[in-house]
């Protein structure tokens, strides 16, 4: 039997959720909810079997969804998710999970007490490209991971409620958490604002991980070109992940360096040898990531596995975002990331 699902918020991302739920083998789209009655009617016209509501409490009381998908502004996530959990539903929350780490912890504690699941929509984790990244790094094929460099820039879209870090960085942070397997220990963030909003629209984040691994993120709403590229550099090989590439999203380069240290006290005697080999582009599946993600959610709800993008993962991303926000306010100071 299909699980009853509802979508709350039908702006930018909500219609994608509705479309995937309606076409899912695991879910039945039972209800749609949005404060804008006109938008509700426009989206709802495509799904006549789904009940339509402009009030969340009424929807929870009448439709009794088993999964509530929340695609509203981040400031509302905590309140809406808590209401859904209290009504007995599991929740699937758009990124970032909440506005603060304290709110994330409250939701996780509430879900645990009620025996419900919290999922966070980190869609990129369900792409074939990121699965390949994870496989290559975990297998040790690239050797020891040295650093990650990421560029996520485009022209807009300016958000009215969050800055560029909270808007774009969750994608990179969730990928890093998934691939590296740990949360950074500290963050430095620099940024600038070029609009009357007072919110940073260009930012640079430096993340330090245990084991001398570091990552650098470049984020912008002001770039004349759109770039979505990550470099994972290892001692044996390096990987370039370009999400805008149509066919070869992941390229593995047999390039690297070797250090022959004769005497650690005499740095001039360190011999560096450079290795340049072939490039290969493994075939990665092109299945829509959101469909894969919802199938993963359904499997968890049926007791068939663990979540790839759980509430705990979402909370970890929020903790890094909070540290970055504090660093921005302090002019780029190093700020430790709070532990779970």
Read off the pLDDT of residues 1-43 as tens digits, 9 standing for 90 and up. 999 999 999 999 999 999 999 999 999 999 999 999 999 999 9
pLDDT in tens, 86-125: 999 999 999 999 999 999 999 999 999 999 999 999 999 9
Calpha distance 119→112 (Å, rounded)? 13
Give the per-residue pLDDT at 147.
Answer: 96
Calpha distance 114→83 (Å, rounded)? 12
pLDDT in tens, 274-322: 778 899 999 999 899 999 999 999 999 999 999 999 999 999 999 999 9
* Average pLDDT of the segment spanning 143-154: 96
Calpha distance 248→214 (Å, rounded)? 26
> Which residues have a Cβ under 8 Å from the Cβ of 314 and sit 6 or more positions away?
93, 95, 96, 97, 98, 104, 118, 120, 122
Give the per-residue pLDDT at 116.
Answer: 98
Q: Which of 52, 105, 96, 101 is nearest to 76 (CA)?
A: 96
Question: Phi and psi of 22, rounded to 5°?
Answer: -65, -30
Q: Tell me the three state secondary structure of residue 224.
A: strand
In sequence order, what DSSP letters do the residues of 48-100 get, joined into one string?
Answer: TTSEEES-HHHHHHHH--SEEEE-S-GGGHHHHHHHHHHTT-EEEEESS--SS
Calpha distance 269→158 (Å, rounded)? 51
Q: Is the pLDDT of residue 261 over 70?
A: no
**Which tokens go with 282?**
């493994």
Longest dimension (CA), the chain: 75
Give the per-residue pLDDT at 262.
Answer: 54
Q: What domains, with CATH codes, occur in the chain?
A: 3-121 (3.40.50.720), 125-286+319-336 (3.30.360.10)
pLDDT bracket for residue 73 (50, 70, 90): very high
70 close to 85: Cβ distance less than 8 angstroms: no
pLDDT in tens, 130-142: 999 999 999 999 9
Q: What's the chain's average pLDDT? A: 95
Which residue has tokens 């996520």? Answer: 152
Q: Is the pLDDT of residue 269 over 70?
A: no
60 close to 84: Cβ distance less than 8 angstroms: yes
Q: Is the pLDDT of residue 268 over 60?
A: no
Could you count the other beta carbons within 10 Å of the beta carbon of residue 130?
A: 25
Give the per-residue pLDDT at 84.
Answer: 98
Give the per-residue pLDDT at 199.
Answer: 96
pLDDT bracket for residue 263 (50, 70, 90): low
139 close to 234: Cβ distance less than 8 angstroms: no
pTM for the full predicted model? 0.94
90 close to 296: Cβ distance less than 8 angstroms: no
30 close to 48: Cβ distance less than 8 angstroms: no
Calpha distance 271→263 (Å, rounded)? 10
Give the per-residue pLDDT at 273.
Answer: 72
Give the per-residue pLDDT at 186.
Answer: 98
The mean-pLDDT minimum among 172-176, 183-187, 232-236, 256-260 falls in 256-260
Give the per-residue pLDDT at 277.
Answer: 85
Give the per-residue pLDDT at 274.
Answer: 77
Which residue has tokens 């660093």? Answer: 327
pLDDT in tens, 61-70: 999 999 999 9
Give the per-residue pLDDT at 187.
Answer: 98
**Which tokens go with 19?**
């479309």
193 close to 200: Cβ distance less than 8 angstroms: yes
Q: Is the pLDDT of residue 264 over 80?
A: no
């Amino acid at each position: 039997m299909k699980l009853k699902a509802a979508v709350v918020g039908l702006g930018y991302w909500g219609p994608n959720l509705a479309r995937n739920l309606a076409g899912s083998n695991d879910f039945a789209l039972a209800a749609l909810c949005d404060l804008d009655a006109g938008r509700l009617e426009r989206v709802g016209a495509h799904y006549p079997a789904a009940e339509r509501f402009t009030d969340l409490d009424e929807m929870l009381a009448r439709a009794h969804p088993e999964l509530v998908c929340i695609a509203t502004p981040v400031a509302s996530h905590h309140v809406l998710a808590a209401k859904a959990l209290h009504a007995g539903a599991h929740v699937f929350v758009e990124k970032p999970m909440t506005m603060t780490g304290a709110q994330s912890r409250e939701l996780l504690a509430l879900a645990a007490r009620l025996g419900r699941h919290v999922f966070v929509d980190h869609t990129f984790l369900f792409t074939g490209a990121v699965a390949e990244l994870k496989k290559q790094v975990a297998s040790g094929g690239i050797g020891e991971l040295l650093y990650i460099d990421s560029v996520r820039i485009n022209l807009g879209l300016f958000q009215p409620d969050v800055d560029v870090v909270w808007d774009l960085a969750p994608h990179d942070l969730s990928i890093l958490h998934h691939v590296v397997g740990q949360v950074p220990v500290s963050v430095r963030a620099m940024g600038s604002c070029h609009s009357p909003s007072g919110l940073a629209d260009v930012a640079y984040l430096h993340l330090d991980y245990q084991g001398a691994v570091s990552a650098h993120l470049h984020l912008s709403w002001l770039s004349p070109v759109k770039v979505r590229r990550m470099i994972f550099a290892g001692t044996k090989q390096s990987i370039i992940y370009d999400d805008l590439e149509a066919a070869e999203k992941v390229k593995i380069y047999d390039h690297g360096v070797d250090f022959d240290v004769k005497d650690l006290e005499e740095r001039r005697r360190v011999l560096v040898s450079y290795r340049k080999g072939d490039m290969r582009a493994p075939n990665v599946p092109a299945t829509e990531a959101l469909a894969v993600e919802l199938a993963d959610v359904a499997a968890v709800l049926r007791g068939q596995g663990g979540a790839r993008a759980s509430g705990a993962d979402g909370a970890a991303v929020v903790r890094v975002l909070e540290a970055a926000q504090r660093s921005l306010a302090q002019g780029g100071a190093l700020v430790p990331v709070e532990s779970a």
